Amino acid sequence: MRLKIVQAGEPVLRQRARELSRDEIRSAEIRQLIEWMRETMRDAPGVGLAAPQVGLALQLAVIEDPGDLQKAIPAERLAERGRRPVPFHVLVNPSLTLEGTPVEFFEGCLSVSGFLGLVPRAPRARVACLDEKGKPVTIEADGWYARILQHEIDHLQGTLYLDRMHSRSFTTLENLNRHWNDLPVAQAKARLGVP
């Protein structure tokens, strides 16, 4: 079942989501929700989806960055972003530790449909969370995977990428593809007048 993805302006996207108990995590309802979120994310298509994006203020997100989504991206852009395939997994009640000097790339969101902006994010992230069975997990990530984790965990805190982006870089997807996507980030920043 494909769930409705709520868009910017919905109050649920601006509130801190509540944690789930281990009993809730193991419930049939949450197992079903995870499956529906996976289907919704893949159908969109996206690389992450947090429960607030489907209208539920729960500390739950699903992530997957399959190789087929990366096929159309030139190898040099994949390397610049540190983007590699990430298998499907679930984050519940995550806490985040960041490392390194922030790097900037264009970032979009299924809840801000059709737009992107340059967002500074830490290049490395460590996440302590529970998995879909309620077991503790620690995730060490770098590059694009670290960016995805930060983006989805922001959703659980009521934060959108819009709050972190360089406002001068805000663009439509069409204009990103026409003007900015084929440029190295430093060159796009210079042309946009982003410090």
Domain-embedded: residue 190: no
Domain-embedded: residue 191: no
DSSP bridge partners of 105 = 119
Structural domain including 63 reads 11-103+119-162
Residue pair 61/152 in contact by the 8 Å Cβ criterion: yes
Domain-embedded: residue 40: yes
pLDDT exceeding 90 applies to what percent of the chain? 90
Q: Please tell me the least confidently modeled range out of 36-40, 66-70, 98-102.
A: 66-70
Give mean pLDDT, residues 100-118: 97
CATH number, residue 94: 3.90.45.10
Domain-embedded: residue 180: no
Whether pLDDT at 191 is above 90: yes
Rounded CA-CA distance 78/101 in Å is: 19
The catalytic site residues sit at 152
Rounded CA-CA distance 82/147 in Å is: 10
Whether pLDDT at 187 is above 90: yes
DSSP bridge partners of 128 = 95, 138
The mean of the pLDDT values for the chain is 96
Written as one letter, the residue type at 33 is L
Whether pLDDT at 182 is above 90: no
Domain-embedded: residue 66: yes
CA distances from 132 to 16, 28, 44, 60 (A): 20, 11, 22, 9
Domain-embedded: residue 59: yes
Domain-embedded: residue 67: yes
Domain-embedded: residue 71: yes
Domain count, the chain: 1
Give mean pLDDT, residues 134-140: 98
